[in-house]
Amino acid sequence: VARGPAPASSMSAPPALPQVTPAPRVGQDDLPGEPSAALKARLSECDEDIADLGIDPQVARLAAGKIFWGAVCSRGAYNVIYSLFLTDEAGGNVQALNVPYSDDERVAELMNISFDAETQTLTNYEMGRGLGDCGAMNSWVWTGTEFVMTHQTLMPDCQGVTSEYWPVSYRSR
């Protein structure tokens, strides 16, 4: 440990963590069973054999008239890549969903996602290699208007470090 010229007590307090408030939970009854024709058209550039995986899309109601879709579009050796969309209840008004990933980057595709309708939380886990010793883990909360990042851990270098020891690069409360 390198010690500085001043005592630790002379350091200013760290800034307060950003507060992220999830939107109220909404009922998940009568969700669409499969993507609409309009959404399937947006998936036309996905891998041709992706349906052979048999992975159902992630689908959840975020609010009345707003449905979240995470549709499998591609895959790697140990990652499944989802394209993210919002639609209305009937599957129309298809919009690509871009979530914040870093200060200057938004993405419309994520690896290995899950959505928890109880907490309005979208999570993902990106494995840099099969051992799982590098990659990223992220979470976002639906606020009623957008997904806001609430947590991110990154391990860009594969060095045999399990995910529980990856450095936290962002968090909120």
Residue 16 CA to residue 31 CA, distance in Å, equals 38
- Domain spans of the chain, in order of start: 25-171
Cβ-contact 106, 100 below 8 angstroms: yes
Tokens of 104: 């200057």
> Of 166, 100, 101, which Cα lies nearest the Cα of 127?
166
Task: Please report the pLDDT score of residue 25 as a whole number.
Answer: 94
Note if the pTM is more than 0.75.
Answer: yes
How would you class 160 by CB atoms within 10 Å of its CB: exposed for 0-12, middle for 13-18, buried for 19 or more? exposed
Low-confidence ranges of the chain (pLDDT < 50): none
Mean pLDDT for all residues in the chain: 93
> Of 96, 53, 93, 91, which Cα lies nearest the Cα of 72?
53
Residue 78 CA to residue 80 CA, distance in Å, equals 7
